[in-house]
């Protein structure tokens, strides 16, 4: 999945990638994930199966790559005017997206790909938190470390979404935000 190095954006290679990604997304809407195969995706994308194997290695890597695009946020985190508000808004949106059927499927696809996300999932999250924390600093608010936001807000959310089997409530996100900001002064 690190095979994009040296690729000219917008060139033939980028068009192949877009076409294959679109094919996967279309097929995921029409069928069970377990029914997807490389030949099926290739046929829909108008490329040969060997193009897919050469570029992504195998089906799991391709599905992981598509899932990574899907979990990339469309926009920066909402500005609610305060750090606590921004973290809460992020947490509620993340909880809703990740506990949805396609959100859960994206997480599983990411984990099933060879490197199991290899830090790229964490990078996407910490970039979002970085933007939130920078905004708080510019407002003059005291801020926790990015790592603390990961450990105290993101990790419990992900853990409970994936493993607990119980629907989460907004009050739970609020409690996590409180623990994240506990004792940081201000």
Confirm or reject binding of residue 36 to a copy of itself (CB under 8 A).
Answer: no
Confirm or reject binding of residue 166 to a copy of itself (CB under 8 A).
Answer: yes
Helix, strand, coil share of the chain (percent; to 5)? 70, 0, 30
What lies within 8 Å, CB to CB, of 179 at 6+ separation is 152, 153
Quote the least distance from Cβ 126 to a copy of itself, whole Å: 10
Give the DSSP H or E segment for 7: none
CA distances from 145 to 85, 100, 126, 128, 137 (A): 17, 29, 10, 13, 12
From start to end of the chain, where are the E strands? none
Quote the least distance from Cβ 117 to a copy of itself, whole Å: 5
Residues 121-160 that bind a copy of itself (CB under 8 A): 121-122, 150-152, 154-156, 158-160
Confirm or reject binding of residue 179 to a copy of itself (CB under 8 A).
Answer: yes
Confirm or reject binding of residue 108 to a copy of itself (CB under 8 A).
Answer: yes
Confirm or reject binding of residue 118 to a copy of itself (CB under 8 A).
Answer: yes
From start to end of 130-183, where are the E strands? none
Confirm or reject binding of residue 52 to a copy of itself (CB under 8 A).
Answer: no
Residues that bind a copy of itself (CB under 8 A): 34, 60, 104, 107-108, 110-112, 115-122, 150-152, 154-156, 158-160, 162-166, 176, 179
């Amino acid at each position: 999945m690190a095979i994009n190095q040296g690729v000219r954006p917008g060139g033939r290679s980028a068009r192949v990638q877009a076409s294959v990604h679109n094919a996967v997304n279309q097929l995921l809407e029409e069928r069970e994930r377990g029914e997807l195969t490389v030949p099926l995706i290739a046929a829909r994308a108008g490329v040969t199966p060997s193009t897919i194997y050469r570029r992504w290695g195998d089906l799991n890597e391709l599905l992981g790559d598509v899932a990574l695009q899907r979990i990339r946020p469309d926009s920066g985190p909402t500005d609610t005017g305060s750090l606590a508000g921004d973290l809460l808004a992020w947490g509620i949106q993340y909880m809703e997206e990740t506990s949805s059927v396609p959100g859960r499927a994206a997480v599983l696809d990411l984990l099933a790909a060879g490197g199991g996300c290899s830090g790229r999932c964490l990078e996407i999250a910490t970039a979002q938190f970085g933007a939130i924390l920078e905004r708080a600093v510019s407002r003059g608010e005291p801020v926790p470390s990015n790592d603390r936001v990961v450990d105290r807000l993101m990790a419990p959310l992900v853990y409970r979404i994936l493993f607990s089997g119980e629907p989460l409530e907004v009050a739970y996100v609020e409690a996590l935000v409180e623990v994240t900001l506990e004792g940081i002064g201000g």
